[in-house]
Amino acid sequence: MDLFNKVKIAYIHFIRKPLFVLLIKTNFIKIKKLKPNFFFDSNDYLSEEFRKTLSSIEDESKILNDADLVLQNNFQTLGSDVLYLGDKINWHCDYKSGRVWEKLFYTKIDSKASINKSDIKFPWELSRFHQSLWLAKAFVITKDEKYSKKFFELVDNWIEENPFCYGVNWNCPMEVAIRAVNWILALHIFRYSKFFDDVLANRIFEALYLHGIFIRNNLEFGRRNGNHYLSDLMGLVWIGAFLGKYSFGKKWMKFARRELEKEINIEVYSDGVDYEKSTYYQRLVTEILFLSWLVLNITGMVLSRTFFDKLKLMFNFISSYIIEDEVPNVGDCDDGKVIKFSFDEKVSEMRNFLSLGAVIFSDSRFKSIAEKPYSLILFLFGLSGIEKFNSIENVVVEKKSFVFPDGGFVVLSSENFKLFFDGGDIGMRGWGGHGHNDLLSFELAFKEKRFIVDSGTYVYTPEPEIRQKLRSTFSHNTIMIDEMELAEFLNLFRIKKDFTRPNLKVKKLNEDNYTEIECEHFTYARLHNPVVVRRRIVLYKENEKILVEDELNGNGEHKVDIFIHFHPEVKVERIDFSKFNIERNNLALAIEFISVENSEIKLEDYIYSESYGKLTSNKRIHLSFKKNITSEKILTNIYPI
């Protein structure tokens, strides 16, 4: 880390933040009456044409049902069932565990301390105010003031129950930023309501100003920045634009724009892969950067062409791994979204987000994968956004393979197979972050159904043992030597050191007959008797067969474990010692190991997490042996039955 960043970290955390805390505790911050800038003015949210377009995109009954659940104080998040929150919402409560956090000063709240499996993410998620957009859609459809009344009641109650800087919902600046974005977007629709009087307006504008003050003085800047710092910057952009008539708003935007230009080059590889190394965080980070770009563009503070081009590459990476309404479950998944447009929106559904990329970049491929316009386009770009989406040419999406050499991912595709391969570092340039110990692991889909999967995430702080188990080497479809982790864990979000030094080679890509990749790593060179691990994967296109060749080069005796984990809906049948049939939705594949007579091959029960807070059982194949290794090869064939 260079001297400038060290000084910057010291200034933010040891000078600016302590001064801010002192000012808060002495009640020094004063607020005057504020006037907003509604920067989405061109979107006529309450026009009849807008209403008709929304109704053509989404089912009206679904929109109203989502909003009615909010009216009744029902909520669902992070793997929970639909929960009734009572007549009066407790914004400091994890309704799953029952824990209620005290309204302490925000610096005294430990976000990582879990009691009786409590999860601080529940009150955070509730206070992100995704529900405000569900009410807004119903208001657009019906013009019924009960939806606007509920929105203002929720916001007013939140302000009352969450005094500035006190309580769990002021503990994390990222959460403050996401809440501000959802409030501001909803206010663009609800400002037409009869309930939006001057007294309430001033109260909300003051709260948004305080949100901006808080973010600016509590930036999550450190030795490795990630989605949290980017969210802080996004929050400053949106609040700064909304209060852009004032010098402080303009300063927040200018600062955020400058930092965003820096961070996209640090945190996003040149091929568009976010360095946190997670398919789900890839979507979140892309959304954060897109929402920042959008508002800066609208307000005339245009980001550079370099930023714009890299943003397209980020959308392109997402487009490469979408499998209908699912994606590979690689790295962490915490269901994180800035804007969530429906009550039960599937976390793995990314086509709706990709539709935004189609509009921004006039991209036919993005549009054709997205298949249809979504309400995200309508609310962020207005009717002109839908017109633009519809004007983009539809194309036949070619089943081609992609390589992302800097990010270390490869997507191999044939007519029926899609294989997602990890051939890169653990994540965040040696920090780990939201990356797992999954080097050389792969996910495999056949005819748009995922068969071989990574094990997922489940939760973070409530059950740390399961958290560490699911990010471990043995929870991925990879190779483990001497039961040693690819990287040792320092805590729930960091590793001690990344020894992998992966060497990813693409030998043939999109050739007529086959695609071939190879990757080796040097994690186990730190053993007393070093071992170099290499995995070669060949996808034969004509007969649609996959060959996985694992090669171990070293010396001395070693224990070797190779794992293959299956989607919970996959049925596994053992045919003989080294052959298995796997079936899902009347689709069947065979997995056959070659020349493994001296190995033990077991079919085991395991666990799988589809999304945050959800855990179910699945099956895995576990191949193991112990022997002196000089040069050893294990071959696996996968082919349709």
**Angle, helix 279-298 to helix 247-267, in steps of 10 degrees:** 140
- For residues 304 and 293, give the distance between their C-alpha atoms in angstroms, rounded to a whole number: 10
- For residues 344 and 337, give the distance between their C-alpha atoms in angstroms, rounded to a whole number: 13
Burial class (CB in 10 A: 0-12, 13-18, 19+), 613: buried
Instruction: Give the chain's largest Cα–Cα span.
Output: 79
Q: What angle do CA 245, 249, 252 make, to 5 degrees?
A: 155
Q: What is the DSSP string of 471-494?
A: TSGGGSSSEEETT--SS-EEETTE
- For residues 602 and 594, give the distance between their C-alpha atoms in angstroms, rounded to a whole number: 15
Convert the pLDDT of each residue in 585-615 to its tens digit.
999 999 999 989 889 999 999 999 999 999 9
Q: What is the pLDDT of residue 28?
A: 65
End-to-end alpha-carbon separation of the chain, Å?
A: 53
* DSSP 8-state assignment for residue 560: E
Backbone angles phi, psi at 562, to 5 degrees: -125, 135
Q: What is the pLDDT of residue 173?
A: 98
**Angle, helix 145-161 to helix 173-190, in steps of 10 degrees:** 150
- Mapped onto helix, strand or coil, the DSSP state of residue 85 is coil
- For residues 256 and 210, give the distance between their C-alpha atoms in angstroms, rounded to a whole number: 17
**CA 106 vs CA 110, 226, 621: distances in Å:** 9, 21, 47
Contact 564, 452 (CB under 8 A): yes
**Angle, helix 227-242 to helix 247-267, in steps of 10 degrees:** 150
Question: Does an H or E element contain 616, and which?
Answer: strand 616-628
- For residues 179 and 211, give the distance between their C-alpha atoms in angstroms, rounded to a whole number: 9
- Mapped onto helix, strand or coil, the DSSP state of residue 188 is helix
Burial 83-116 (b: 16+ CB within 10 A, else e): eeeeeebebbbbbbeebebebeebeebebeebee
Classify strands 489-491 and 479-481 as parallel, antiparallel or unpaired. Answer: unpaired
- For residues 85 and 87, give the distance between their C-alpha atoms in angstroms, rounded to a whole number: 7
Backbone angles phi, psi at 454, to 5 degrees: -75, 165
The C-alpha R_g of the chain, in whole angstroms, comes to 25
Burial class (CB in 10 A: 0-12, 13-18, 19+), 512: exposed
- For residues 458 and 99, give the distance between their C-alpha atoms in angstroms, rounded to a whole number: 19
Q: Please give the structure tokens belonging to residue 297.
A: 């563009």
**CA 282 vs CA 222, 286, 329: distances in Å:** 20, 6, 12
- Residues (pLDDT < 50) of the chain are none
- For residues 593 and 580, give the distance between their C-alpha atoms in angstroms, rounded to a whole number: 9
Q: What angle do CA 181, 182, 187 make, to 5 degrees?
A: 100
Of 311, 286, 319, nearest in space to 397 by CA: 319
